[in-house]
Amino acid sequence: MSDSPTLFAVHDLHARPTTEDDGPAPADILKGLNLTVNAGEVHAIMGPNGCGKSTLASCLLASPEYEVTSGRIEFKGDDITDWPTDVRAKAGLFLGFQYPQEIAGVSVIQFLRQALSARKGIDLSVLELRLATMDWMKRLGMDSSFVDRYLNEGFSGGEKKRNEIMQMAILEPDLAVLDETDSGLDIDALRIVAKGIREVRADRPTMGVVLITHYQRLLDELAPDHVHVMVDGRIVASGGMEIAEKLEVSGYESFRP
Ligand SMILES: Nc1ncnc2c1ncn2[C@@H]1O[C@H](COP(=O)(O)OP(=O)(O)O)[C@@H](O)[C@H]1O
Ligand SMILES: [Mg+2]
């Protein structure tokens, strides 16, 4: 798919935690990260604990907790490095983890409605949105009562994943960034993620996906086009599923510079 247009690119990104005091600036956590995603491609970024995966996810989200010290992020031809979260979302960047998993008194469908309004400026009625979600619920294997559940009802890991995938389906992003930070995902939850991504891509073949994960099993389920290994704030190896196989055999140690 190398002839498809560049959808998203991260160029030599350096970032560190934001501090408020005047003390010495903390060291960069991201130390020159590069990544290019073309339309329709699925990329997985794997890395050991502490390599900077969550920091990368936070920077893609424009979290105020981190500051980009150099480098840039491009999306659909625009330099979005300084864009705030909501503007990125409106432009078609879906950041699964940006949505709080628990909000008191808000149902799944109310939340979707508000997110859709922010993303596309479309104000669907709850009834219209209910119709739009019915097909997806079937495809994602969700019970039809799911959309009336409250986000604070104590979703299981699998339900949180369904919720996230449902948002991705309804919001129709051009690029979905999914950060599997949740350490408690079982194989069923991983299958939901993989199946959800496949179903949404079947509808939107040009959607790009960046999946940040430490779950090797997820790669087996999803079979991404590109696999990247991240060590100490950089991508140190890129390839196809053979990279995942090498990881399986010799771990991250063999990728350390
Ligand atoms: N806000 C922060 N302040 C100080 N150090 C941080 C902060 N966030 C992350 N770090 C450090 O940066 C490194 C990378 O963290 P993180 O991005 O969470 O890694 P990963 O998600 O790959 O496990 C770790 O050593 C972590 O302790
Ligand atoms: Mg993390």
Q: What's the pLDDT tens digit per position in 169-182? A: 999 999 999 987 65
Q: Of 27-31, 71-75, 159-163, where does mean pLDDT reach its minimum?
A: 159-163
What are the residue ranges spanned by the domains of the chain? 6-255
Residue 3's pLDDT band (cuts 50, 70, 90)? low
Residue 210: pLDDT over 90? yes
Average pLDDT of the chain, as a whole number: 88
Cβ-contact 96, 168 below 8 angstroms: yes
From the number of C-beta atoms within 10 Å of its C-beta (0-12, 13-18, 19+), residue 206 rates as middle
CB of residue 234 inside a 6 A radius of ligand 1 = no
Q: Which CATH architecture has domain 6-255?
A: 3-Layer(aba) Sandwich (3.40)
Rounded distance between C-alpha atoms, residue 217 and residue 109, angstroms:
31
Confidence of residue 122 (pLDDT cuts 50, 70, 90): confident
Quote the percentage of the chain above a pLDDT of 70. 93
Q: Is the CB of 213 under 6 A from ligand 1?
A: no
List the single range of 97-101, 185-189, 234-238 with lowest mean pLDDT.
97-101
Residue 28 has pLDDT above 60, yes or no: yes
Best of 45, 55, 177, 231 to mutate for ligand 1, by most ligand atoms within 8 A of CB? 55
Index of the ligand 1 atom closest to the CA of residue 65: 1
pLDDT digits (tens, 9 = 90+) for 30-75: 999 999 999 999 999 999 889 999 999 999 989 999 999 999 999 9
Q: Is the CB of 173 under 6 A from ligand 1?
A: no
Best substitution site from 18, 29, 180, 228 to test ligand 1's pocket, by max atoms within 8 Å of Cβ?
Answer: 29
Distance of alpha carbon 165 from alpha carbon 199, whole angstroms: 10
pLDDT higher than 60, residue 113:
yes
Please name which ligand lies nearest the alpha carbon of 19.
1
**HEC secondary structure over the chain:** CCCCCEEEEEEEEEEEECCCCCCCCCCCCEEEEEEEEECCCEEEEECCCCCCHHHHHHHHHCCCCEEEEEEEEEECCEECCCCCHHHHHHCCEEEHHHCCCCCCCCEHHHHHHHHHHHHHCCCCCHHHHHHHHHHHHHHCCCCHHHHHCECCCCCCHHHHHHHHHHHHHHHCCCEEEEECCCCCCCHHHHHHHHHHHHHHHHHCCCCEEEEEECCHHHHHHHCCCEEEEEECCEEEEEECHHHHHHHHHHCHHHHCC
**In sequence order, what are the beta bridge partners of 231?**
234
Position in ligand 1 atom list of the atom nearest CA 57:
17
Is residue 137 scored above 60 in pLDDT? yes
Q: Mention every residue, 6+ apart, whose C-beta is less than 8 A from residue 186.
A: 157, 158
Given pLDDT bands bounded at 50, 70 and 90, which one contains residue 188?
confident
Phi, psi of 79 (to 5 degrees): -80, 110
Integer Cα distance of 5 and 2 in angstroms: 8
Which ligand does the CA of 50 lie closest to? 1
Nearest ligand for residue 182 CA: 2
How far away, in angstroms, is 204 Cα from ligand 1 center?
Answer: 34
Q: How confident is the model at residue 1 (pLDDT cuts 50, 70, 90)?
A: very low
Q: Average pLDDT, stretch 218-228?
A: 90
User: Which phi and psi (to 5°) does residue 112 adopt?
Assistant: -60, -40
Is the beta carbon of 233 within 6 A of some atom in ligand 1? no
